[in-house]
Amino acid sequence: MTAHETRPSPAPAGEAAGRPLLLAMEGVGKIFGRDTVALRGMTLEVRQGDFISLLGPSGCGKSTALRLIAELIHPTSGRIRWSDPAAQGSLGVVFQEPTLMPWATVADNVWLPLRLRGRSRADCAAEVGAALELVGLAAFARAYPRELSGGMKMRVSIARALVTRPRLILMDEPFAALDEITRFKLNNDLLVIRQKLGATVIFVTHSVFESVFLSDRIVVMAARPGRVHAELAVPEPYPRAEGFRTSPEYAAYTRAASEALAAAMGGVPHDG
């Protein structure tokens, strides 16, 4: 057993405590069918401006947790309390696949969330353009998704999630299918964008490195049944640039996170 497993997460230097609460998961559980416990007793406080990573092995309920927050499914037990009901309707979501409409251009894909609110294309042109600008795809507004590379499609998907200026962005392994070079680039860009918008992010990942680089809080989860195993803080100031990846602090955080993950998976923690 490592110290991380039971140690309560140290509050990130009194900074997070000051920020207002966005939502709280209170002992949330979800059972599929008769006896598949996808998630058990998950408690999590999300504060405005948090970048939280859910890190864990396959099947530990990470996607289930996101779907619960997005209200695509409802808890079997416990509840999710939103401190500000207005924020509840202000959600951006990015899935593992880009999930674009192949029949629509890049700009029209980004337009979708606004279109669903009854806004015309001309009316949203500026917002759509700004969102595409943010992800660096302004030049591709009129392209069709099939003409883009995997990384570019993912950027469009992010632009679509951002276009409504959501209070909370949920991302479910958005970069898992991309090569490492593209992933690093998108990680960097994501932090820059997040900084600009001041959004709150909950980010699901399999990658220890990704979670440490991106987040200020890492929630390590365990499977069978899905549950929160430990929470780690990464009290490293933003903006974090490429240099952070090679710093000794980064190495220390990844070691701690790897150990927590190994413990969550029931294996012996490797000596990093």
Ligand X SMILES: Nc1ncnc2c1ncn2[C@@H]1O[C@H](COP(=O)(O)OP(=O)(O)OP(=O)(O)O)[C@@H](O)[C@H]1O
- Residues in contact with other proteins by the rule CB under 8 A: 67, 70-72, 89, 91, 93, 95, 97, 99, 101-104, 112-113, 115-117, 144-146
Q: Which helix (H) or strand (E) holds 42?
A: strand 36-47
Task: List the alpha helices (DSSP H) in the chain.
Answer: 3-6, 62-69, 85-88, 106-115, 121-134, 150-162, 180-197, 208-214, 248-264
Looking at the Cβ atoms of 34 and 146, the one nearer to other proteins is: 146
| Residue of 22, 38, 135, 260 interacting with ligand X (CB under 6 A) | 38
CA 42 to CA 84: how far, in whole Å?
20
Min dist. Cβ of residue 235 to other proteins (A)? 32
Min dist. Cβ of residue 105 to other proteins (A)? 9
Q: Evaluate whether 151 touches 182 at the Cβ level (below 8 Å).
A: yes
Question: Residue 102 touches which of other proteins, ligand X, Mg ion, none (CB < 5 to 8 A by kind)?
Answer: other proteins
CA 214 to CA 224: how far, in whole Å?
27
Looking at the Cβ atoms of 61 and 92, the one nearer to ligand X is: 61
Min dist. Cβ of residue 194 to other proteins (A)? 20
| Residue of 60, 100, 152, 219 interacting with ligand X (CB under 6 A) | 60
Q: Which of residues 204-243 bind ligand X (CB under 6 A)?
A: 226
Indicate whether 59 belongs to the interface with ligand X (CB under 6 A). yes
Min dist. Cβ of residue 155 to other proteins (A)? 17
Looking at the Cβ atoms of 38 and 199, the one nearer to Mg ion is: 38
CA 28 to CA 80: how far, in whole Å?
7
- Residue 17 neighbours by CB under 8 Å, 6+ apart: 11
Entry field: residues in the chain? 272
Q: Evaluate whether 190 touches 158 at the Cβ level (below 8 Å).
A: yes
Looking at the Cβ atoms of 4 and 67, the one nearer to other proteins is: 67
Read off the tokens for 214: 């991106």
Q: Which of residues 48-67 bind Mg ion (CB under 5 A)?
A: 63
Burial label, 220 (beta-carbon count in 10 A; 0-12, 13-18, 19+): buried
Nearest residue to Mg ion on Cβ basis: 63
| Residue of 48, 64, 215, 258 interacting with ligand X (CB under 6 A) | 64
What does the binding site for ligand X look like in residue numbers (CB under 6 A)?
32-33, 36, 38, 56, 58-64, 226
What does the binding site for Mg ion look like in residue numbers (CB under 5 A)?
63
